[in-house]
């Protein structure tokens, strides 16, 4: 049996990652129709403990997990350490004496408490001294109600306001003006429209290398020439090929030899890492992590489908899918700067072709759109049951790569 879960990042005002909300489903074909909140919470905790390490799934950041009154009273939150979890009280839970006593007890034990999808009622004021975060849905909550919540909580300095489902830069700016300090939604994956930036020569060299390695038939001589024109790239290549992961019979004496040692698959990943890290020096690392996860996810989908022609380009499509956010400009502008094959550009600009299909599955799964992910898989004759395994492998791989980048 597979453990089905996805994660959604929660960021601070500087767009730095503070934690992930974990989303449970019974399977890719089950959009929560027959499972109540109690069972969902218990199975999420069971799965995170025994199927996939919670720290691995959240990169050692706190996991925001929904709890019902019943699961709180059963003591499920205390199965996790206070450093591991933020206890989200579901919006369906009614405030009352039993819940208040349980919240006080958890707070005394050092747990972080959040009210999820908060609907303002005066009775919640009794909980404010013990609540750390209040999450407000920006899609369903009116401006008037948000202002009412702000006024009700402003005298409680212990409470941080979390803006949920923030999907545009304008919503993000409005939330900041209102005093929200934490944010959840897809705004971080969209560009903040600022003046377009030109890529420095080293980044253009990386872009050229990415293009060359995306081809089925790689021109080793041409790639060697690009490396030889950039001392910094050559140094990083030699350092990488010298790592313990690559067993060599002799010392490397040329750039070409280093490229042969790596092989096309590892070279492609190495270049993608360098490019993403270099062009995003002032961006949150969560963008890099998510692009790496998508890249590996798309690559594994093509591999599972035995689509040898698209394995390399699928990886690169996933990697490039957030480059508009990384560079703070439109995807059209980004694609004009990069010498990528037309099939990748069609996927990213027009959502057309096989590569776009792979990317759709990856993004649908990461956003917990399970029914859409299943439908997309069925259209491609892929078994949806493979998605949890692929997602877990993609997350683990991206975590490993991030350790390389952050050294």
Pairing of strands 160-164, 5-12: unpaired
Of 209 and 389, the structure prediction assigns the larger pLDDT to 389
Residue 9, pLDDT above cutoff 70 = yes
pLDDT of residue 171: 87
Q: Are 313 and 347 in contact (CB under 8 A)?
A: no
Residue 16 tokens read as 């730095």
Radius of gyration of the chain (CA): 23
Give the right CATH number for 5-189 from 1.10.10.10, 3.20.20.450, 1.10.1740.10, 3.90.120.10: 3.20.20.450
The mean pLDDT of 216-227, rounded to a whole number, is 75
| CATH number, span 201-405 | 1.10.3210.10
380: confidence class by pLDDT, cuts 50, 70, 90 = very high
Residue 143 tokens read as 């401006």
Could you tell me which residues are beta bridge partners of residue 117? none
The percent of residues in the chain predicted with pLDDT above 70, rounded, is 71
Of 115 and 170, the structure prediction assigns the larger pLDDT to 115
Q: Which of 77-86, 167-176, 344-353 ranks highest by mean pLDDT?
A: 344-353
How many other C-beta atoms can be found within 10 angstroms of the C-beta atom of residue 343? 18
DSSP track, 274-320: HHHHHHTTTS-HHHHHHHHHHHHHHHHHHHHTT-GGGHHHHHHHHHH
Question: Rounded to an integer, what distance in angstroms lies between the CA atom of residue 170 and that of residue 340?
Answer: 31
Question: Rounded to an integer, what distance in angstroms lies between the CA atom of residue 309 and that of residue 343?
Answer: 12
Please name the residue that has the structure tokens 């004009």: 336
201-405: same fold as 5-189? Answer: no
Q: Are 25 and 370 in contact (CB under 8 A)?
A: yes
Instruction: Sketch the domain layout of the chain as residue ranges.
Output: 5-189, 201-405
Its sign, for the CA torsion 262, 265, 267, 272, is negative
Using N-to-C axis directions, what is the helix angle for 255-279 and 231-241, rounded to 10°? 110
Question: Rounded to an integer, what distance in angstroms lies between the CA atom of residue 287 and that of residue 200?
Answer: 20
Alpha carbon distances (Å) from 117 to 82, 304, 377? 22, 38, 31
pLDDT of residue 347: 94
Short-list 289, 282, 329, CA closest to 14? 282
Question: Rounded to an integer, what distance in angstroms lies between the CA atom of residue 3 and that of residue 189?
Answer: 26
Residue 51, pLDDT above cutoff 50 = no
Q: What is the pLDDT of residues 22-43, one digit of tens each?
A: 875 444 443 333 445 555 555 5
Question: Rounded to an integer, what distance in angstroms lies between the CA atom of residue 369 and that of residue 29?
Answer: 10
Lowest-confidence pick of 43-52, 103-112, 232-241, 362-371: 43-52
Strands of 153-243 (E only): list them: 160-164, 182-184
Question: Rounded to an integer, what distance in angstroms lies between the CA atom of residue 298 and that of residue 319?
Answer: 9
Residue 239 tokens read as 């350092």
Of 216 and 151, the structure prediction assigns the larger pLDDT to 151
Q: Which of 282-286, 303-307, 369-373 ranks highest by mean pLDDT?
A: 303-307
Of 106 and 73, the structure prediction assigns the larger pLDDT to 106
Residue 346, pLDDT above cutoff 70 = yes
Cα 333 versus chain centre, distance:
23
Please name the residue that has the structure tokens 């949150």: 284
**Mean pLDDT for the chain overall:** 78
Question: Rounded to an integer, what distance in angstroms lies between the CA atom of residue 25 and that of residue 309?
Answer: 33
Q: Is 67 helix (H, G, I), strand (E, B) or coil?
A: strand
């Amino acid at each position: 049996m597979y453990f089905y879960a996805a994660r959604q990042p929660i960021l601070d005002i500087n767009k730095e990652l503070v934690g992930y909300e974990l989303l449970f489903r019974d399977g890719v074909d089950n959009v929560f129709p027959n499972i109540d909140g109690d069972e969902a919470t218990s199975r999420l905790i069971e799965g995170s403990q025994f199927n996939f390490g919670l720290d691995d799934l959240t990169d050692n950041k706190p996991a925001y997990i929904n709890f019902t009154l019943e699961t709180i009273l059963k003591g499920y939150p205390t199965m996790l350490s206070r450093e591991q979890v933020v206890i989200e009280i579901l919006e369906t839970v009614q405030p009352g004496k039993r819940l208040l006593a349980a919240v006080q007890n958890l707070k005394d034990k050092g747990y972080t408490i959040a009210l999820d999808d908060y609907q303002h009622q005066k009775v919640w004021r009794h909980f404010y001294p013990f609540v750390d975060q209040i999450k407000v849905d920006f899609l369903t909550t009116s401006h008037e109600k948000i202002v009412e919540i702000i006024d009700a909580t402003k005298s409680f300095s212990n409470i941080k306001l979390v803006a949920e489902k923030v999907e545009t830069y304008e919503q993000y700016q409005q939330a900041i003006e209102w005093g929200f300090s934490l944010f959840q939604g897809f705004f971080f994956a969209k560009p903040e429209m600022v003046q377009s930036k030109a890529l420095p020569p080293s980044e253009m060299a990386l872009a050229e290398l990415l293009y060359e390695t995306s081809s089925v038939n790689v021109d080793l001589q041409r790639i060697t020439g690009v490396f030889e024109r950039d001392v910094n790239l050559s140094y990083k290549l030699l350092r990488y090929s010298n790592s313990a992961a690559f067993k060599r019979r002799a010392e490397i004496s040329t750039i070409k030899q280093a490229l042969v040692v790596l092989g096309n698959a590892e070279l492609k990943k190495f270049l993608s890492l360098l490019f993403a890290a270099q062009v995003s020096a002032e961006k949150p690392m969560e963008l890099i992590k998510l692009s790496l996860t998508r890249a590996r996810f798309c690559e594994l989908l093509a591999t599972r489908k035995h689509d040898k022609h698209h394995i390399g380009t699928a990886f690169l499509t996933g990697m490039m899918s957030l480059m508009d956010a990384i560079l703070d400009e439109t995807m059209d502008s980004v694609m004009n700067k990069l010498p990528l094959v037309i099939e990748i550009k069609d996927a990213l600009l027009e959502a057309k072709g096989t590569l776009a299909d792979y990317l759709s599955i990856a993004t649908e799964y990461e956003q917990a759109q399970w029914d859409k992910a299943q439908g997309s898989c069925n259209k491609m004759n892929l078994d949806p049951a493979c998605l949890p395994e692929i997602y877990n492998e993609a997350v683990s791989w991206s975590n490993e790569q991030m350790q390389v980048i952050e050294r």
